[in-house]
Chains A and B, each alone.
Chain A
Amino acid sequence: MSKISTGSFSIEELENVQITIGSIVGAIEKKVEDEGEMGPTPKPGISGLRDWDYKLLNRYEPVYTPMCDQCCYCTFGTCDLTGNKEGACGIDMKTHQAREFLLRVITGAAAHAGHGRHLLHHLIETHGADHPIDVGPTNIKAPVTQTVTGIKPETIGDLESVLDYVEEQLTQLLATIHVGQEGAAIDFESKALHGGMLDHVGMEVSDIVQISCLGMPKSDPNAPLAEIGMGTIDSKKPVLLCIGHNVAAVTYIMDYMDEHNLTDKIELAGLCCTAIDMTRYNMDKGGTPTAKIVGSLAKELKYIRSGIPDIIVVDEQCVRCDVLREAQKLSMPVICTNEKIMYGLPNRSNDNVDDIIEDMVSGKEPGALLLDFEKIGELAPRLVMEVAPIRKAKGITALPTDEEFKELTNRCVHCLVCEMACPMNLPISDAMTAAADGDLTPFEILHDKCIACGRCEQECPKDIDILNVIEKASQKVIREEKGLMRAGRGQVSDPEIREEGVNLVLGTTPGIIAMVGCSNYSDGTKDLYDIAKEMLKRSYIVVVSGCTAMDLGMYKNEEGKTLYEEFSGSFLKGNLLNVGSCVSNSHITATTIKVAAIFAQRNVTGNFEEIADYVTNRVGAVGIAWGAYSQKASSIGTGCTRLGVPVILGPHGSKYRRALIGKPYDSDKWSVYDARNGEKIAIPPAPDYLVTTVDNAEEIMPMLAKSCIRPTDNNMGRMIKLTHYIELSKKYLGIMPDDWHTFVRTETDLPLAKREELLKILETEHGWEIDWKKKKILSGPTMKFDVSAQPTNLKRLCKEA
């Protein structure tokens, strides 16, 4: 077997016979093993990293906040588990909540892995399995994949076995949801962490295959800027709206438009991550994206109701279930391009394009399921060119006329039922009163805060289409919604890590703030801008993706510049990087792995635990999923936490049912080993959570600074981080944080400008002994500073072990 390799072979004695060996099971892994690089846990099973999980879960305990007191999983039930009671199968509330959380995580992971598998099948078919992976200047092409599976993929065909592993593990995890399986909450937690880790592998496969095959930017800090906002769409042109996350079908539409000189004639707009990837398509050689981004999921119903789109093309994930119903009311044909969303439409994949177009233009069919990408490419542009003139002539929209608007606002009886039904209890009633008096401002404010779920309309006893009223009132601000987003750049390159790694590990770059996730914000989109700007000004590296990357581009400074224009896009302090769409989140965890590999020369191959240990102790990174709503967001976040990157969620994140929070007052939990000799050393209680939530954008600011503190910070690094923590706490909460002293090891950790003042506080309020002549701390700190210490949670990495 060792002599067999992949490739094509001729057999001398047999003319015209050639044997092609596509892949050999285990060949890549064997090659790595032969090179002596394989770590201890390639392709870990469910229990493979359980010890590591237990270490994390010992310090950061699961905190459950159930969304429902009952369990209705099986016919034993419904069981009332209130008060941590046991149900008929023996499961208690705590364990059931852990199971519920696991289910969310693997649902999210399956969505990404399914997306990746679909893309991989398609791109192997179009580009061949031997198509090389090309993600930019790097020796570690797939850092998460390599760390988890031990596989170092070179071609897109190599990614098949990676997804085989992910899919097999996800099936095993899903099996544990069944009644009568796991009975310990902590082991459901470990499984959830496993699912989160798998998610990052699935995402990485998805993104590197599309970067490699679809001409997307390859670690490009200067990826082009794309237009974003409802106000950027030229509604006079035929408008083709694409919604979802999987850009495969849309690339055929873009190619057809290009080949038939339709690019200038059709307005190609997108919602959600498909939109982001439309702006990345074929941008690796430069240029300006022709596709425009409408925005995130929160804009979906708003934009459909505006009547501006002439046809809608959907693929998968985060597409509203009522798209067809809403579109049908407005004579907008809907094309489903992916088996995950078919809306009960007839499968027209084998039909003639002319016939399908005719059926939709005539209104005979409200849409079609079309799984043939070539046909989609031709049909969508042709259909929109035919439908648009008809729709525009009729002026079709769901929004009320001025007169209807007046009648609707006067019809409101101010019963407040809409506000109770609103997930955010938005003040709709007062806005109705103001609008009836001619003041549209309250509705304009609601337009940004409203996530367009439509729950208010379901409850209104007066049948007022409240969302339409909000949108009608906000036409002026909608027209001004024009911003820019830097197209997703993909991975962080090796040269960038080489330049910045040392600053991160020593703390002189105060940290990485990764802002990811969806648009279920608690108070509108502006918070994202405010958070990013504050941290960028303080030289943090801000990395963004997905909906956050979009909404961030909607605001401008006094000079009319968006953050993407104001700050550069390299992996350097004070830079703003958009890695790309939802699946590009894997590049964020990959970056921390690369720091371990490149800066610290750690072997990453099949070596997850050691790398996670490194990241936990040394890489000051924190994730924010400010508007997280989806199962995918839970799996993304959970993948970060297994690697040791803490995650803060907005207040809606409490509905994920569980957080991981430490107790700073329990000193036993805050120590690690020194790898030089195996001795225990105290570490600062930061981050004091792995997953938590905050109430608003102001509260998050000091928490971000604290979350980047790590045991390996040198004095300069700790001083910088403490300075930001104290300043941000004073600025946004009006107080000196009460735990700042717990991060002080020596006087040189103290912010220079306030050193004397802080020494005084340490002496008077905390009883520390100070040598005032030398301005030195003599006693008090619970931690020592030792520049050579090698903090680790893993006894096996200690020299004495």
Chain B
Amino acid sequence: MVDTTKNIKVYTTYGTKSAKPVQPKISAKLISKAKRPLLVVSSAVLDEEILKRAVSIAKKTGMQVAATSTSIKGFLNEDVKAKYINIHALATYLGDVDWTGLDGEGHYDLIIVLAHKKYYINQVLSGLKNFTDLTTLSIDRHYLQNASMSFGNLKPEAHLEALDELIENL
């Protein structure tokens, strides 16, 4: 079992409110309980090991994947609900209560982020933290201060292990 709550050193601080460190098992529970979760992935998901796990999460939960950047290429032959969207546009629409989502069926209640550039997704999460009521969960390998909950800073192999544990508990 990986302790994903240990290293939460913040290297570039945003201020007073920091993500609550979260264990894989709790993350799985949060995802399972959500009514309209959205998995937001980026180009780093094209790493074979990460992709395998992202696909597993999407398949096991049936949740929509917002495939930002070039990540859609990883989902073309997978039986998952994945759609390309630019992440800054997505961040904008997530802040709009009238948006009906990527599938037209309504807004989301839990945003899960994986495989992003740390500094980029942290900005997106900063916008969501300050201007929306959305709950955000980072299962990336860096501690993301601006999420509601986040894994801590992890070595690559520990990160994969944590994702496996999360998938097991879905």
Contacts and interface: CB of A to CB of B under 8 A. Distances in A.
Interface of A: 61, 63-70, 80-84, 93-94, 416, 420-421, 423-425, 459, 522, 651-652, 654-655, 659, 661, 663, 665-666, 688-689, 692-696, 698-699, 703, 732-735, 738
Interface in B112-128: 117-120, 123-124, 126-127
A703 B17 CA distance: 35
Given A82-B129, A83-B130, A695-B68, A738 B119 contact: no
Interface stretch (B47-55, B90-98, B161-169): B90-98
Contact of B16 (A70, A94, A651): A70
B144 to A, nearest CB: 12
A281 to B, nearest CB: 38
A421 B126 CA distance: 19
A99 to B, nearest CB: 15
Contacts of A61: 92
Interface stretch (B22-30, B58-66, B70-78): B70-78
Contact of B14 (A68, A420, A735): A68
Given A425-B142, A695-B68, A734-B76, A652 B119 contact: yes
Interface string B124-148: 1011011100000000001000000
Contact of B99 (A84, A665, A698): A665
A661 B92 contact: yes
Contacts of A67: 14, 123, 126
A666 B99 CA distance: 9
B159 to A, nearest CB: 12
A732 B70 contact: yes
Nearest to A656: B123
B20 interface: no
| Highest count of chain A CB atoms <10 Å: which of B84, B86, B99, B118 | B86
Nearest to B76: A734
A521 to B, nearest CB: 12
Given A68-B15, A733-B84, A84 B69 contact: no
Contacts, number: 135
A659 B119 contact: no
23 contacts: A63-B91, A63-B127, A66-B126, A68-B13, A69-B126, A83-B129, A94-B131, A420-B11, A522-B117, A661-B92, A663-B92, A695-B43, A695-B120, A696-B43, A696-B69, A698-B69, A699-B43, A699-B69, A733-B73, A734-B72, A734-B73, A735-B72, A735-B76
A701 to B, nearest CB: 10
B155 interface: yes
B86 A694 contact: yes
Given A65-B126, A423-B119, A651-B120, A80 B92 contact: no
Given A67-B126, A420-B11, A699-B43, 18 more contacts: A61-B92, A66-B14, A68-B13, A94-B131, A425-B142, A522-B117, A651-B119, A661-B89, A665-B100, A688-B89, A689-B89, A695-B42, A695-B70, A695-B117, A696-B70, A732-B70, A733-B72, A735-B84
| Highest count of chain A CB atoms <10 Å: which of B17, B98, B131, B142 | B131
B70 to A, nearest CB: 5
Interface string B1-43: 0000000010101111100000000000000000000000011
B88 A693 contact: yes
B83 interface: yes
B150 interface: no
Interface of B: 9, 11, 13-17, 42-43, 68-70, 72-73, 76, 83-84, 86-89, 91-93, 95-96, 98-100, 117-120, 123-124, 126-127, 129-131, 142, 153, 155
A544 B99 CA distance: 37
| Highest count of chain A CB atoms <10 Å: which of B76, B98, B119, B153 | B119
A726 to B, nearest CB: 14
Nearest to B82: A735
Contacts of B131: 64, 84, 93-94
Contacts of B96: 663
A69 B100 CA distance: 29
Contacts of A420: 9, 11, 142, 153
Contacts of A63: 88, 91-92, 95, 127
Nearest to B15: A69
A766 to B, nearest CB: 14
A695 B87 contact: yes
A387 B125 CA distance: 52
A655 B122 CA distance: 10
A83 to B, nearest CB: 6
A734 B123 CA distance: 27
Nearest to B100: A665
A655 B119 contact: yes
Contacts of A459: 11
Contacts of B142: 420, 425
Given A63-B92, A84-B130, A522-B117, A69 B9 contact: no
A97 B68 CA distance: 25
A70 B83 CA distance: 35
A663 B93 contact: yes
A661 B124 CA distance: 14
A704 B138 CA distance: 30
Contact of B127 (A64, A423, A652): A64
B11 to A, nearest CB: 5
A422 B72 CA distance: 27
A65 B99 contact: no
B136 to A, nearest CB: 13
Q: Which 9 A-B pairs have the closest CB atoms?
A: A69-B15, A695-B69, A654-B123, A651-B120, A65-B127, A65-B123, A661-B92, A734-B73, A70-B15
A69 B16 contact: yes
Contact of A692 (B17, B72, B88): B88
Given A425-B118, A734-B73, A66 B127 contact: yes
B142 to A, nearest CB: 7
A459 B9 CA distance: 12
Contacts of B92: 61, 63, 659, 661, 663
Contacts of B43: 695-696, 698-699
A669 B68 CA distance: 25
Contacts of B95: 63
Nearest to A652: B119
B115 to A, nearest CB: 11
Contacts of B15: 68-70, 80, 82
Nearest to A421: B11
Nearest to A650: B120
Given A80-B16, A663-B92, A738-B83, A64 B70 contact: no
A699 B130 contact: no
A65 B127 CA distance: 4
Contact of B130 (A64, A652, A688, A694): A64
A753 B16 CA distance: 57
A92 to B, nearest CB: 10
Nearest to A70: B15
Contacts of A651: 117, 119-120
Contacts of A663: 92-93, 96, 99
Contacts of B84: 733, 735, 738
B86 A65 contact: no
Contacts of A738: 83-84
A457 to B, nearest CB: 14
A665 B103 CA distance: 13
Contacts of B68: 695
A798 B88 CA distance: 35
Given A66-B130, A699-B70, A424 B17 contact: no
A655 B12 CA distance: 12
A69 B130 contact: yes
Contacts of B120: 522, 651-652, 654, 693, 695
Nearest to A414: B155
B90 to A, nearest CB: 10
Nearest to A665: B99
Nearest to A85: B130
A462 B82 CA distance: 44
A425 B17 CA distance: 23
